[in-house]
């Protein structure tokens, strides 16, 4: 059996740092992840050397991992990483599954590539941009734009770059991410087009459970509270409450566009994401009772990019971001996750993330700007959000 061949060479029980490095060197797209509040992690490898964006709906995909950049093109056309090889890690013991489409020759070539020691093909720092925009000044411009009446909320973002230590370990970084953020969607993924990304996102975009229950959520408002134990003690300002309410209204507006009124709403409530707390409201739809089996694809097109990463109204906010933000967000504020994997789909907004290069890490963070925003506080919010991953470096 092909699975037996991989087990015999032991490529998924050996040094995972070496495995990740060789996958990147030989340009195999891959994703490794763990869903929130679960113990099983997965490694998916696509044996093709080029990414694909098939013209298919979510419902037609199976056992794959998708990534989609922030870009506001509609409908979104995510890159699909096929599950040619899927390794499940239960108590650190790997269980290997290989797609019937994969040949024995493909497996032999993979084994040879994983056993090699070439260092070719690593990401370099040559493509790093220089980001010079003053974030506080940009926030002030956004506040003036909001006061003019053309827009209600603008989500602005920025990045910082940090030098990696010479002994930086991908496996150690990802392992610490898993242990530090059990309530987040923790992932690492690589494609030729987007490079290597790592993140611990607190925000679900859409979930489809057992091909029946659709879920989404509005997550906004942020406080840095590393020591608080009782979340009911968290006090929220009017600015934070209104910011989260705008995202909730945006979701309800999307449901109204498709004349869907049969949904459950729960919240808002305070939730923890590492050392940060947010306000969250959840929405749930029974796709069988509402006779909407393709609700996932429909809502994905309506929701992305959400007002939590862009603003409201969408058109005005996105135009301001494109004109003034002064850099390419790439996968930051896009979405990613496993699709129809174990009969469930889990897509998350790509927040609390970083892009890794040969010797540097680029960390991203954003803040929702309203009329009541304070530029200094909004800048500090981005600093607090970057701590999620900065502490690991």
**pLDDT (0 to 100) of residue 122:** 45
Same domain, 230 and 261: yes
pLDDT at 360 over 60: yes
The answer to whether residues 75 and 140 belong to one domain is no
- Note the pLDDT of residue 50: 66
Instruction: Examine the domain organization and report whether 62 and 176 are in the same domain.
Output: no
Domain match, 140 and 272 both:
yes
Shared domain check, 211 and 179: yes
CB 5 within 8 A of CB 108: yes
| 129: in domain | no
Same domain, 183 and 219: yes
pLDDT tens figures, 24-51: 999 999 999 999 999 999 999 999 866 6
The contacts found for 380-387 with CB under 8 angstroms, 24 or more apart, are 380/224, 381/222, 381/224, 382/135, 382/157, 382/158, 384/222, 384/224, 384/275, 384/276, 385/222, 385/276, 385/351, 385/352, 386/160, 387/224, 387/274, 387/275
pLDDT at 127 over 70: no
Range of the domain at 182: 136-187+202-390
Residue 131 placed within a domain: no
Closest-CA residue to 200 (of 223, 221, 176, 224):
176
- Is the pLDDT assigned to residue 239 strictly greater than 50? yes
Distance CA 82, CA 150 (A): 43
Reported as a pLDDT band with limits 50, 70 and 90, residue 14 is low
Q: Which helix (H) or strand (E) holds 50?
A: none
Residue 125 lies in a domain: no
Contacts of 51 (CB under 8 A, 6+ apart): 29, 79, 80, 81, 191, 192, 193
pLDDT tens per residue, range 321-336: 999 998 999 999 999 9
Instruction: Say what the pLDDT of residue 380 is.
Output: 94
Pair 90, 170 in one domain: no
Q: What pLDDT, on the 0 to 100 scale, is given for residue 121?
A: 42
Alpha carbon separation from 271 to 28, 58, 107, 282 (Å, rounded) = 36, 29, 44, 12
14 and 153 assigned to the same domain: no
For residue 350, what is the domain's CATH number? 3.60.120.10
- Residue 320 forms part of a structural domain: yes
Instruction: Please give the helix or strand (H or E) that residue 41 lies within, else none.
Output: strand 41-46
Q: Are residues 206 and 300 in the same domain?
A: yes
Number of domains in the chain: 2
Given a cut of 70, whether residue 118 has pLDDT beyond it is no
CA distance 69 to 44: 20
Position 229 scores a pLDDT of 76
For residues 338 and 333, give the distance between their C-alpha atoms in angstroms, rounded to a whole number: 17
- Asked if 184 and 274 touch (Cβ cutoff 8 Å), the reply is yes
How confident is the model over 161-214, as pLDDT tens digits? 999 999 999 999 999 999 999 999 999 999 999 999 999 999 999 999 998 999
Assigned domain for 122 exists: no
User: Higher confidence at residue 129 or residue 166?
Assistant: 166
Query: Is residue 88 included in any domain, yes or no?
Result: yes
- The verdict on 44 and 155 lying in the same domain is no
180 and 101 inside one domain? no
> How much is the pLDDT for 116?
74
Pick from 51, 83, 115: which residue ends a domain?
Answer: 115
pLDDT of residue 119: 55
Indicate whether 365 and 287 sit together in one domain. yes
Tell me what pLDDT residue 230 has.
86
Give CA–CA dist 89/96, Å, rounded.
9
In a domain, 54, yes or no: yes
Residue 11 lies in a domain: yes
């Amino acid at each position: 059996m092909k699975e037996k061949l991989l087990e015999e060479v032991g490529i998924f029980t050996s040094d995972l740092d070496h495995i990740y490095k060789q996958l990147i060197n030989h340009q195999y797209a891959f994703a490794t992840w763990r869903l929130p509040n679960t113990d099983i992690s997965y490694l998916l490898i696509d044996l093709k050397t080029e990414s694909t964006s098939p013209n298919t709906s979510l419902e037609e995909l199976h056992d794959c991992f998708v990534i989609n950049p922030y870009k506001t093109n509609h409908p979104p056309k995510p890159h699909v990483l096929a599950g040619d090889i899927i390794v499940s890690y239960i108590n650190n013991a790997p269980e290997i599954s290989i797609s019937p489409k994969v040949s024995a020759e493909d497996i032999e070539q993979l084994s040879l590539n994983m056993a090699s020691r070439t260092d070719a093909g690593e990401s370099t720092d040559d493509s790093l941009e220089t980001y010079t925009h003053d974030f506080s000044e940009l926030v002030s411009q956004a506040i003036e734009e909001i006061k003019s009446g053309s827009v209600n909320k603008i989500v602005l973002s920025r990045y910082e770059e940090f030098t990696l230590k010479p002994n930086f370990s991908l496996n150690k970084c990802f392992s610490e991410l898993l242990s530090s953020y059990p309530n987040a969607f923790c992932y690492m993924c690589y494609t030729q087009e987007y490079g290597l990304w790592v993140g611990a996102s607190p925000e679900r975009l859409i979930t489809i459970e057992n091909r029946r229950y659709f879920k989404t959520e509005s997550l906004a408002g942020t406080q840095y509270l590393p020591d608080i134990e009782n979340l009911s003690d968290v006090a929220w300002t009017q600015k934070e409450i209104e910011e989260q309410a705008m995202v909730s209204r945006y979701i309800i507006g999307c449901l109204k566009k498709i004349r869907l009124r049969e949904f459950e709403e729960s919240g808002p409530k305070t939730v923890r994401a590492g050392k940060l707390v947010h306000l969250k409201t959840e929405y749930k739809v029974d796709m069988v009772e509402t006779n909407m089996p393709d609700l996932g694809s429909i809502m994905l097109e309506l929701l992305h990019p959400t007002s939590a990463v862009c603003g409201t109204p969408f058109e005005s906010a996105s135009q301001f971001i494109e004109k003034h933000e002064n850099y390419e967000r790439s996968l930051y504020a896009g979405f990613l996750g496993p699709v129809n994997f174990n009969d469930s789909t889990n897509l998350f907004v790509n927040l609390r993330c970083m892009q890794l290069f040969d010797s540097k890490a680029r960390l991203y963070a954003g803040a929702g700007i309203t009329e009541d925003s304070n530029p200094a506080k909004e800048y500090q919010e981005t600093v607090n959000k970057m701590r999620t991953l900065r502490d690991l470096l």
